[in-house]
Amino acid sequence: MLQKCQPRPSFISALAAVVLTLPICAHAGSRPKVTTTLRTALTGSIFLNTGDTSNSEWIDLSGDIQLGVQATPPDPMPDPIRVHANMAGVSGIGRTSGQHFVLNGSENFEADGDVPNTLNLKGEYRLIPPDPIVPINFTVQVDQNGIATSALATIGECTTDLACGD
């Protein structure tokens, strides 16, 4: 025998109360966020100083970094520009050992929302093995429409356990 299921009025009232308290995502006249995905190459060399001269060596890095950039064209107030940077296959080979190293991690940034804008950002990523932090500098160009038009990634200033340049 089939039974007909009718929602109770108290359930409908509770459901309506929950729905009415949810944030409204789109307002009339709201400005659309513009999301751009860019890939930029990273190449460079770092010197891994392990404290043991037999294990310290230069590592040549190369690969792509994927950037997701979200901006809103200003009208009348700018929203922050958000950038997500993800290592997408950056790796290196030790010049002496031939060992394979991987630069790992992702990072989120938030910057002043005025567009057009040139953003200068600094992230820190982990080199595996052995686990030191490698600073990466990003320069991202965002045009007046909120579109990221170009990006550059370079190895930043390094620490005592990691020297940069060649």
Strands (E), the chain: 34-48, 57-71, 81-94, 100-104, 106-111, 117-128, 133-142, 148-155, 162-164
Q: What is the DSSP letter of 24?
A: P
User: Is the pTM higher than 0.75?
Assistant: no
DSSP letters of 125-153? EEEETT--EEEEEEEEEE-TTS-EEEEEE
| Residue range 39-94, pLDDT digits in tens | 999 988 998 887 777 778 999 999 999 999 999 887 777 789 999 999 988 999 99
| Residue range 12-29, pLDDT digits in tens | 444 444 444 444 444 445
Q: Which of 45, 44, 46, 90 is nearest to 67 (CA)?
A: 90
